[in-house]
Structure formats: C-alpha cells, structure tokens
Amino acid sequence: RRYVIQGQKWQNPIVTYSLVNQTMSELDAGQVRRILHEALGLWAQHANINFREVYSTDADIQVMFARKFHGDGYNFDGPGKILAHAFYPGTGIGGDAHFDADEKWLLNEPLDAEGTRLFDVAVHEFGHSLGLGHSSQQDAIMFPWHHISYRGKDTIPEDDRLGIQSIYGPRKKIYGKNPERHTPSTTTTTTTTTPAPPPRPTTRPYYPVKNTTGHPWEGLYPHGRPYTTRRTTTTTTERSHHREDEETRYRTQLPATTETTTVRHRPHHRPHHRTTTTTAMTTTTTTTTRRPYRHRTTIHPNPCNTSFDAITLIRNELFIFKDRWLWRMNENDLHRPTPFEIHRMFFGLPADFERIDTVYENKHQKIIFFIGKQYYVFNSQYLEPGYPRPLTDLGLPDSIERIDAALVWSHNNRTYLYSGRLYWKFDEDTNRVELDYPRDMSMWRGIGYNIDSAFQYRDGKTYFFKGRGYWRFNDMNMSIAHEYQKSSARRWMKC
C-alpha cells in the first residue's frame, strides 16, 4: 500500500503546536522543542502548510511525553515496542502527538548511538497529525516500524512527499523574491505573547485541556476538565450555538424556553428561590434563601427539547432524568406524566445537587446513582448506610471526574461504565472494574465520545444517547444499528 490519506486536514493556514509538559525532567525541553520545530519544518518544506509554536493549551497539535495509562485509551508499554502515537487532524485530541516517556530518546547523539532518535519518530508522528496514515513503502517516513527515514537530504521520500502534497498541495513559490533565500515560514517561530499558563500540578500526569470547535456535545476529558471554546474557524452562530447548548447543559432553567409548572411543596420544605440572569456570554446563578412559601412555581426542562442526563429501567419502569427532575414513564400511558423532583423519590441525595451523571439498577436490584466523583447505592428509595463513596472504591482512576453512562449490556448482561473517551467493564461480584480496562470508546463503533447515557430497554436492545438524539446499537457487529436519531423526545418522552 502506498501512502494513505486519512480524510481530515487542517483548514487554518497556520497550525499551532505546543510542547505541553515541559517539566519533563529527563529531557532538555529546549532541545526537544528544537527537534519538534525541525520535524514540522521538514513537512512544511514540502507542502503548503505553516506552523507556529505557542505555549498554551490552545494549540492545534499538543505534544506530550507520557507513560502507560495517560487518559486516551491507548496505553504505552514501557521501553521498546510502541514508541509513540498521534491522532489525525480534528478538534479535541485531534492532531495531538504522544511520546512514550519510558523510551531512551536521543536528541543530539550520532546515528549509530544506542536508543531512538526523537527526530525520526517526531517526523513520523507529525505525519499522522497532518492526516497521513501508514505506508507499506519500507523507505517511507510513514512506514510503521521505526527506521532512519531521513538523513538530512534536502527532500523526503517520494511516497511521503506525494502523500502530504495530495492533502495540502505543494509549497507555493513566492515570486519576486529570490526563491533560494525564501525559506518556509515555519522556520521563523514567533514566540507567542500569550502569557505562560500557570504551572501545572506535577502531582499527576498533566493532560492537555484541549478545545473544541463548538461541537455541542464535546464536553469533558476523562479527567473532567471542560473544553474551552477556542479561536476557531467555526462561524459565530455555531459558537453561540455551542455556548447556548453548553449553558442549557449546565444552567438552571429559564422561563423563556421551558414550560412552567406549579409544584406544591410541603410547608416545612424551605425552598431555595433561584434567579438566573444571563448576560451575553455567561450565566450567573444567585441563590437566596427566602421564607418558606406555601407553594412556588418550579420550572422543569422542556421534555420535548432537551438532552437526558440519564435514562434507565428501574423495576422494569422507564425513568428519565434531567437536572433535578425525573419522569416516570409508564408504557401504557398515552400521555407523558408530570415530572417531579428526584429527591422526592430517592431520599438521601445531597440537597444541593444540580443534576445526576447517570443511574442504573444492578443485578442485586440496588439502584446506583453517579454524581461527580461519588456514587450512591439505594435500596429501593433509601440511601444505604455508608454512602456516598468515591469512584476510586470501584477501581476507577482518580483522574476520572464523572461517569457519563452506566449500562447493563444486552449482549452479555455485564455492566459497563463510560467516561469521556474511555470505558470499563464492571464486575458486580467483586464490585470493581476488570483489570484489562479502560479501553477506548472507538470499540463501540459509531458512538463517539462523551456520551450522555446508555441503557438496555425492555426490547432487549441497547441504546446510546448523546445530545438530543440517540442510536440503537447492534451488539453482534459492535456498531450502531442505524444513523443518529436526532430527537429522543418522540420515542422516549411521548412528544
């Protein structure tokens, strides 16, 4: 197979890159940055693309040295075998290049020295970051197995040159100037003026906080840091759409977009009155405690225009959760029942919780709620003593900030937990996740990352929910059974 193009490419004329964890003690950060710059410069000499080094989490290509499990589902394996990996162009983790910190990296040593030249591997990995796949040409830079592919000649192997030029086109000649003197603009790295980000906690491996281009559903890395919107080529509508969507996900309800429902509260219940003011780009919620009302108008989300925080069968009844509300759907009802507040059915949840992350009923008929880094075990409607407990009690890594979904999979009736790009199989008997996990969510082909919920319905099928829509899953093929259904409301909320 000759060179392979992976379909994605960088649209922005200048691609930024950043060495994320410069505190790498073994290697000299300055030398590493020089080598990264040379490796990118080699591609820039042969294609119409330019690079600029920045030192911030806004970079398109974030370069990281990490070892073993480092949060992307593709663990490194210590010295030897896997040296590095990189992701094809895209938002989120797209474009990033990760190098195995357990390798013996050579920065300046001569070719025959013992170890792995960082330059050779970096050129290869940046080929992926630009959109190239592996080539079976043994002399090509994109050949999967490590070899000295480039020895300082003034050109790269033909297979790589044709590959990169078929994505970005050849390097444009600058007329009217002496072309010999003109070197690709990548060689002029302008040190960025953006202030260096605060020193990162060295207590645990640092994960780059990547941005997203406003795709409404991208939310969190597995360790829970939210994406921030970055200067992107997306149109402002998309971005405002993203901000608006982002807010709907996290803000308390506003009267404008939701029905108002009067819910009577028992007089002893001290209601908190929430006022929400939304300025241009931010939502501030001020909470004031007022004297108890005999009743108050409480607003629940518009069930026909919302994503779900969780949807599951409990005692074979369908429960749908959003923010502080739950709908108890009865199959025989023609109409949707009125929602009520979660803490009026499940006693023992924290009084100030905004929303639950997910919930499921296990094979011991216990009802397990996940909120943030804790989980709550309910025996029917009552919290069992000794709960909540931290997620680490289940064998999950401390870097996990929340569980997106908990599923008893229809294929094998085993429990799976999903968070960000990763998932675990959970052993209900040992009450811990199984050893050979986490794995990357790409195993569940077509579902993508950062899902909202998943459950097995009475029809014995498995459904995944993300944003306002859902997929039915084909267990045997391990892929989605049909295209994304844009509206869950009709099927699940009887809208």
Partner 1 sequence: KPIERERRSEAKFWDYDDSQKYLMQFGYLEKSNIETGNLRTIEELEQAVRSLQRFGGLKETGTVDEETLALMQRPRCGAPDDKDSLDFRPSYEVRLKRSRS
| Residue 180 annotated as catalytic | no
Burial grade of 179 (CB within 10 A; 0-12, 13-18, 19 or more): exposed
In whole angstroms, the minimum distance from the beta carbon of 192 to partner 1 comes to 25
Residue 126 or 325: the one with the smaller Cβ distance to partner 1 is 126
In whole angstroms, the minimum distance from the beta carbon of 448 to partner 1 comes to 4
Q: How many CA atoms lie within 13 A of 274 on its CB side?
A: 16
Does a cis peptide bond (omega within 30 degrees of 0) precede residue 303? no
Angle formed at CA 130 by CA 125 and CA 135, multiple of 5 degrees: 60
Residue 378 or 418: the one with the smaller Cβ distance to partner 1 is 418
Q: What is the DSSP letter of 421?
A: T
Amino acid at 445: R
- B/e letters for 110-149, b = 16+ CB within 10 Å, e = fewer, are eeeeeebbbbbbbbbbbbbbbbbbbbebeebbbbeeeeeb
CA distance linking residue 34 with residue 102, whole number of Å: 21
In whole angstroms, the minimum distance from the beta carbon of 418 to partner 1 comes to 13
Angle formed at CA 493 by CA 487 and CA 495, multiple of 5 degrees: 75
Residue 276 or 410: the one with the smaller Cβ distance to partner 1 is 410
Residues ≥6 apart with Cβ < 8 Å to 153: none
In whole angstroms, the minimum distance from the beta carbon of 90 to partner 1 comes to 4
CB atoms closer than 10 angstroms to residue 103: 22
CA distance linking residue 408 with residue 334, whole number of Å: 28
Residue 9 or 328: the one with the smaller Cβ distance to partner 1 is 9
CA distance linking residue 295 with residue 326, whole number of Å: 19
Residue 94 or 301: the one with the smaller Cβ distance to partner 1 is 94
Amino acid at 7: G
The helix/strand/coil state of 117 is strand
In whole angstroms, the minimum distance from the beta carbon of 151 to partner 1 comes to 18
Does a cis peptide bond (omega within 30 degrees of 0) precede residue 388? yes
In whole angstroms, the minimum distance from the beta carbon of 436 to partner 1 comes to 8
Which residue, among 246, 241, 244, has the nearest Cα to 228 in the 3D structure?
Answer: 246
Contacts with partner 1, residue ranges (CB under 8 A): 1, 4, 6-8, 74, 76, 80-88, 90-94, 116, 121, 124-125, 128, 133-134, 136, 138, 144-146, 215, 217-218, 411-412, 425, 439-443, 445-449, 475-479, 483-484
The rounded Cα 24 to chain-centroid distance in angstroms is: 24
Q: What is the DSSP letter of 342?
A: G
In whole angstroms, the minimum distance from the beta carbon of 413 to partner 1 comes to 13
Residue 171 or 472: the one with the smaller Cβ distance to partner 1 is 472
Three-state SS letters, 430-477: CCEECCCCCEEHHHCECCCCCCCEEEECCCCCEEEEECCEEEEEECCC
The helix/strand/coil state of 312 is strand
Residue of 125, 218, 246, 401 with catalytic role: 125
Residue 21 or 116: the one with the smaller Cβ distance to partner 1 is 116
Residue 6 or 252: the one with the smaller Cβ distance to partner 1 is 6
In whole angstroms, the minimum distance from the beta carbon of 478 to partner 1 comes to 3
In whole angstroms, the minimum distance from the beta carbon of 115 to partner 1 comes to 10
C-alpha distances (whole Å) from 237 to each of 214, 242, 316, 483 are 10, 8, 42, 25
Residue 300 or 421: the one with the smaller Cβ distance to partner 1 is 421
Q: Which residues are catalytic, by number?
A: 125
